[in-house]
Amino acid sequence: MGLEQYKGDMEMCCRCSACKWVPMQRVAGFKFANVCPSISRYDFHSYCGGGRLNIGSAMLKKAVSYTPRLLDIVYNCQMCGACGVSCNYAMDMEVMEPITEFRIKCVEDGKTHPALDKVIAGLRKNGSMVPVKGKRGAWASGLKLKDATKEKVDVLLHVGDLTSYDPSLHKLAKATARILEKAGVDFGIAGDAETSCGGEAYEMGYKDDFLTQAKKNMALIKEARIKTVVTASPHPYHAFKVLYDKFKLKGELKVLHISEYIQQLMKDGRLKPRKKVDLAVTYHDPCHLGRLGEPWIHWQGKKVPGDRFVFDPPKKYRRGTQGVYEPPRDVLKSIPGLKLTEMTRIKEYAWCCGAGGGVSDSNPEFSRWTARERIEEAESTGAEALVTACPKCEKTFSEAIEATGSRLKVYDIVELVEQAIE
């Protein structure tokens, strides 16, 4: 188990470097052809997806040992999944799974990053991956929302750590709640009882802490007899839908991101965006809603003996194509007056905002560098605003825009929907 189970995948890497780029057949030009923030920033092969597999493979053979440089490579990865998608355009092999297992191994071996240790200490103490300020459910004060831990509801709205504790993002949780109210959805929140989904702890390598959080969340859901969870952020969406399923903890729970749910409510005629929002926008696909949000595939089988990497039954790979791409676009297109222009790297080939894999805590400079590249790409479309569907992306972009003096505005999709239905 652990990293060992991906020995064959790691040895299969032929060092072709396709994991650094948008696939050749889809490259639109010299600019914005790269997909991996890490290799683009550090310009040394070990920092790309393939390089990380080569190191993992060498580690299993005891050909390398932990050094400060090796750990620099491990922790300067956004865990965004773009390398896996580009590799799997042609190759049948796991990329993100061994990269994740390598991080888990680092944590098990005590080779952690101090900034991430601090985040995890906060998680263990407060059930939050971000610093705690006030009460978790304080964002809902003034709104008369049902407490899903006490009253029966059709839908649990899970807000997430960052939106709960960052007062500058409370507007997103409030907009989400007002949209659901407007559509007449019978929903509730867990308020102060809500706890971190734990997904980011897993990506940082702290598997046991992730499992603790996953079990806590599923116990709350079972106790409240919740059948559907709607998440306001792609991070809990990815955790509940993909990771909890991977570890067989999800059961029959239905998990929807707010953009999927709004699309459904619009189709059903329960939300009607009638008010004009005159704005030229471009849309950023959050990694955890897009390629990483693709459902988990449970596979059981064995490798066919011999040199070739062939399995019986054939193994299916998550190639990023089944992520949530159309619902947010459909929602934006339904808003009168709004003009959507696409960036060069979209959907499974989207460039990360810079906040993944704990990098915003361990290396904020790299995080801002990554965000600036996306802002430049957004500006190249001529859009007035960059729209995303993730509070973490919104915060990362807003901070980078403030630092660069760009005139681009940033919105979460729920802010524009709320304007259109008022």
> What is the binding site for ligand SF4 (CB under 6 A)?
13-19, 35-38, 48-50, 52-53, 77-83, 87, 91, 95
**Closer residue to ligand SF4, CB minimum distance, 24 or 403:** 24
The nearest distance, CB 159 to ligand SF4, in angstroms, is 26
The nearest distance, CB 404 to ligand SF4, in angstroms, is 21
**Closer residue to ligand SF4, CB minimum distance, 48 or 262:** 48
Q: Burial letters for 142-177: b for 16+ Cβ neighbours within 10 Å, e otherwise?
A: eeebbbbbeeebebbbbbbbbbbbbeebbbbbbbbb
Amino acid at 304: V
**Closer residue to ligand SF4, CB minimum distance, 35 or 120:** 35
Helices (H) and strands (E) in the chain, counts: 19, 11
The nearest distance, CB 48 to ligand SF4, in angstroms, is 6
- Distance, in Å, from the CA atom of 202 to the CA atom of 3, rounded to the nearest integer, reads 14
The nearest distance, CB 96 to ligand SF4, in angstroms, is 7
Phi, psi of 390 (to 5 degrees): -150, 120
The nearest distance, CB 107 to ligand SF4, in angstroms, is 17
The nearest distance, CB 121 to ligand SF4, in angstroms, is 25
- List 182's β-bridge partners, or say none: none
**Closer residue to ligand SF4, CB minimum distance, 80 or 221:** 80
Query: Pairing state of beta strands 187-189 and 279-283?
Result: unpaired
Query: Pairing state of beta strands 302-303 and 311-312?
Result: antiparallel
User: At a CB cut-off of 8 Å and minimum separation 6, what does 35 contact?
Assistant: 19, 20, 21, 22, 82, 83, 85, 86, 345, 349, 351
- For residue 47, give the nearest of 357, 396, 373 by alpha carbon: 357
User: How buried is residue 313: exposed, middle or buried, by Cβ count under 10 Å (0-12/13-18/19+)?
Assistant: exposed
**Closer residue to ligand SF4, CB minimum distance, 18 or 214:** 18
- 56: helix, strand or coil: helix
Q: Give the 3-state DSSP-derived string for 61-116, with helices as H, strands as E and coil as C.
A: CCCCCCCHHHHHHHHCCCCCCHHHHHHCCCCCCCCHHHHHHHHHHHHHCCCCCHHH
**Closer residue to ligand SF4, CB minimum distance, 13 or 417:** 13
**Closer residue to ligand SF4, CB minimum distance, 173 or 355:** 355
**Closer residue to ligand SF4, CB minimum distance, 16 or 297:** 16
- For residue 334, give the nearest of 420, 258, 414, 231 by alpha carbon: 420
The nearest distance, CB 357 to ligand SF4, in angstroms, is 7
CA 93 to chain centre: 21
